Chains A and B, each alone.
Chain A
């Protein structure tokens, strides 16, 4: 009985250590998933958010992107757009945040694939937008490329995916 108890205690201690290890040293997948969640919350703002808060959010948004990042949009009902570099992304975000009443961004079905050298990651997800204006923005499949730059995972490319060609 004593041995069983000790073994159970040992197993519990091992499980705790493993859990602690995953908290202290998360896998690259988890880091990228957290980045995506953080990106969604940074892009989300309420209707009562001040202009200053919106501008700050637009500024913070660029921290997720590498200096040479590209956003390529080609979705039904929208004109094709390509935004290159942090400055253009910030300006577009500033303009967008100023005109929208509010914005809620959700990334659904997010899957992360880390490359063998653990320096790049491919992320697929469905983005759902709600701008609080009763307009149906639908859902859009997106693809992100992340690269580890100076220890931080940054988006180098974000593009819409044509689900139906």
Chain B
């Protein structure tokens, strides 16, 4: 039992709100605001679903999209990016293989950029995709998943407008 004359606060209270409740409240507020700003505007948490990015990313994996990745420079070939649909609740996770103005084609399962074969060490499942050259617009990037074992028609891929690219995947 605690002595009524003891100026020290009860240990349970110390555990719950600290020795200085006002300072604790300020710390909590700062933490909440920091988390909100970080996870709303800087790092967007995502859960991977689907097989199109296998074996690089698997269903159920948790990751973050860095929304500030392209503040200083434009997206690069090989970047894994998230492409928004109507909003950011559901996004495509794809790899950029074609840059603005470039022509992308598939022959014998290999990607060709402006007629030159693209070295893609991240593609582990080979395929026999055949597709005529597609030219990216001045503000478009060609995105595709790493899993090329799927039929071409069932694999969501194509030209994404720059404003649809939300950011680069963190890990």
> CB within 8 Å of B: which residues of A?
76-77, 108-111, 124-126, 128, 136, 138-142, 161-165
Contacts and interface: CB of A to CB of B under 8 A. Distances in A.
Nearest to A75: B156
A164 B92 contact: yes
Contact of A108 (B87, B143, B164): B87
Contacts of A125: 86
Given A76-B154, A77-B154, A164-B92, A111 B87 contact: yes
Contacts, number: 56
Interface of B: 49-50, 83-90, 92, 140, 143, 153-154, 156-160, 164
A160 B169 CA distance: 27
B90 A164 contact: no
Contacts of B88: 109
A124 B153 contact: no
Nearest to B155: A76
A108 B92 contact: no
A78 to B, nearest CB: 10
Contacts of B154: 76-77
A109 B156 contact: no
Nearest to B52: A138
